[in-house]
């Protein structure tokens, strides 16, 4: 696990001025808090941010991995609208191995957020709260995909499924490097 954490942490980068401009355009607003780039789409632009557990004013911010690419977010929205989460929830409820993998995704999320947040600490009210309904519910597939992109294949089973379903979300219009 320590080696995995080192590999993941090495991929997180400070945003450049160009990155800040891209993310502001993606969100349609200036992002809140002290974020870093956790994943880039093949076009080179940020598509997942890593956020500390609280905003500068102390407000808890549980969404550590934040999917910012509008094309990816729209594709995930279509997957959610299909109703597949009900099927996946039923599968999670009856498959102990899948439940174990999803719990491990939850633990990995909490560890990544705690490491990123550092000495400021995770606010008590979200200390055991991850994202995407983890570890018992299949809720926000955007958060599951963001974790899968940021931490790699095999970390979040539902994030991996969503990534497979949406395919190459970056192909158009941002096919070229930023």
Query: pLDDT digit string (tens) for 90-143?
Result: 999 999 999 999 999 999 999 999 988 887 789 999 999 998 789 999 999 999
DSSP 12-51: -BPPPHHHHHHHHHHHTSPPPSS-EEEEE-TTSSEEEEE-
pLDDT at residue number 177: 47
Cα four-point dihedral sign 142, 145, 150, 156:
positive
| pLDDT of amino acid 172 | 67
pTM score of the predicted model = 0.91
DSSP state of 121: -
Least confident of 5-19, 40-54, 106-120: 5-19
**In this prediction, what percent of the chain has a pLDDT beyond 90?**
74
Q: What is the pLDDT of residue 173?
A: 63
């Amino acid at each position: 696990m320590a080696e995995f954490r080192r590999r993941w942490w090495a991929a997180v980068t400070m945003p450049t001025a160009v990155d800040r401009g891209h993310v502001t355009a993606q969100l349609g607003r200036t992002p809140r808090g002290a974020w870093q780039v956790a994943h880039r789409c093949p076009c080179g632009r940020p598509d997942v941010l890593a956020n500390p557990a609280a905003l500068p004013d102390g407000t808890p911010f549980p969404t550590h991995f934040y999917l910012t690419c509008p094309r990816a977010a729209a594709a995930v929205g279509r997957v959610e609208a299909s109703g597949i989460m009900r099927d996946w929830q039923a599968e999670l409820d009856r498959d102990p191995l899948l439940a174990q993998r999803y719990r491990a995704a939850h633990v990995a999320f909490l560890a990544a957020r705690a490491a990123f947040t550092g000495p400021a600490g995770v606010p008590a009210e979200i200390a055991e709260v991850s994202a995407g309904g983890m570890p018992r519910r299949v809720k926000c597939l955007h958060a599951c995909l963001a974790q899968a992109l940021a931490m790699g294949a095999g970390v979040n089973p539902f994030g991996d499924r969503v990534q497979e379903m949406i395919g190459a979300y970056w192909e158009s219009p941002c096919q070229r490097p930023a």
